[in-house]
Amino acid sequence: MATINGIEQGISCYSYTEQFIKNDDWTIDTVFAHVAAQGVTKVELVGAQTFQQYPVPREDEIQAVLEASHKHGVEVFSYGGYVDLGRVTGHAMSREDILSDIRLDIMTARRLGATFLRATGFGPDLAEAVNAIGEEYGIQIGFEIHAPHTPADPEVAEFMRVIDDKGLKNFGLVPDFGMFIERPTEIAVNRYIGLGAERKNLDWIIANRHNGMSEEEMQAHVASTMNGGYGEKVAISEWFGYLSFAPAELDSFAAMVPYVTYVHGKFYHLERDENGRVYEPTIPYERALSILADGGFQGVFISEYEGHAFYLDDADEQIGRHLTLGRSILESL
């Protein structure tokens, strides 16, 4: 995939979650074949999904990735790790426990030939120690800033301060564009209706999402006064959690750009307008991508489709649209 103004497009294998899980015959080889068909060579691979043993994959699982990589001309650019903080029931992970898990992910990244690790699960107080492990193995760590967090969060500012103060060379941030979602997708709304929610209840929840009610208060209110059921329950839970929405924090995004190692171009569903132009109806893509490019970002912009959250089976079409959208924005800058 061509580099446009210093930005190269890539794909997260996570975009194929729906097909990978539903189809027993899909392997990482299948995923890489689909990526290669999009003309993309760089992928992010999410360990906890791809591998059937995690955090330390079996050797045959690593070999399968390397063989598919070679066969399709696809490079594991970044390895997506997790710190599974709740793995041991009733046990709170210590600082050493967390660093141990990070080290395992970094070791896997090395086995895969990746140069980046996308990390989560710790605070700015561990950034220096994580950076040191990254230096030891020659891996760049990008801490993911994901919804419901935004670039304006004090924790993001603290990460940036630590990177500056300690002069961290192997540590930066990975913004996930899902944090700029300003309204739920129509597909999400329809999904909750499919789970039994009433449209008028969902409209009320959307209108009142930021009225000061806690999630618990809203769950109780909708259940008791609006006859809300299962669909409303799931909607409230997800809209207060990983599908949270709010006016996009774009002003504070500009300050974050110098710390960006690479980008998760999260998107939910791309539509076409009457002129055939592709657009993301819930995320201000033109503005966010422009801020990134204007801020001097040079690196990889990963398309990450989250259609499986809405039971959609259209990853190839959607990823193709996203690559087209990104290319057209970047070429216009």
Partner 1 sequence: MPTKFMKLGFDAHVLRSLRNEATGYVLEVGLNYYRGTPISAVERLELSVDGERIDDDRLLVEINGKYLRLYEVPLAHTEYWGVKTPIHLHVLGAPLAAGPHDVDVVCEARVVYMQFAPGVYGMFDASARATLTVSES
- Distance (Å) of CA 238 to CA 18, 147, 206: 18, 11, 12
What is the nearest approach in angstroms of partner 1 to the Cβ of residue 55?
8
Using N-to-C axis directions, what is the helix angle for 199-208 and 230-239, rounded to 10°? 20
- H or E, element range at 44: strand 42-46
Which residue lies nearer to partner 1 by CB, 235 or 325? 235
Which residue lies nearer to partner 1 by CB, 128 or 153? 153
Which residue lies nearer to partner 1 by CB, 134 or 231? 231
Q: Is 59 left (phi over 0), alpha (psi -120 to 50) or beta?
A: alpha
Kindly give, in sequence order, each residue whose CB lies less than 8 Å from that of residue 225, ignoring residues fewer than 6 positions away: none
What is the nearest approach in angstroms of partner 1 to the Cβ of residue 291?
25
In the complex, which residues of this chain contact partner 1 (CB under 8 A)?
Answer: 14, 17-18, 20-22, 24, 46, 48-49, 51-54, 82-90, 92, 120-121, 148, 195, 215, 233-234, 237-238, 240-244, 308-311
What is the nearest approach in angstroms of partner 1 to the Cβ of residue 281?
21
Q: How far is it, in rounded angstroms, from Cα 293 to Cα 289?
A: 6
3-class state of residue 251 by DSSP: helix
Which residue lies nearer to partner 1 by CB, 240 or 268? 240
What is the nearest approach in angstroms of partner 1 to the Cβ of residue 210?
12
What is the nearest approach in angstroms of partner 1 to the Cβ of residue 217?
13
Which residue lies nearer to partner 1 by CB, 100 or 120? 120
* CB 291, CB 254: distance < 8 Å: yes
Which residue lies nearer to partner 1 by CB, 159 or 285? 159
What is the nearest approach in angstroms of partner 1 to the Cβ of residue 101?
10
Kindly give, in sequence order, each residue whose CB lies less than 8 Å from that of residue 295, ignoring residues fewer than 6 positions away: 254, 257, 258, 260
What are the b/e assignments for 180-198, b being 16+ CB within 10 Å? bbeebbebbbebbeeeebb
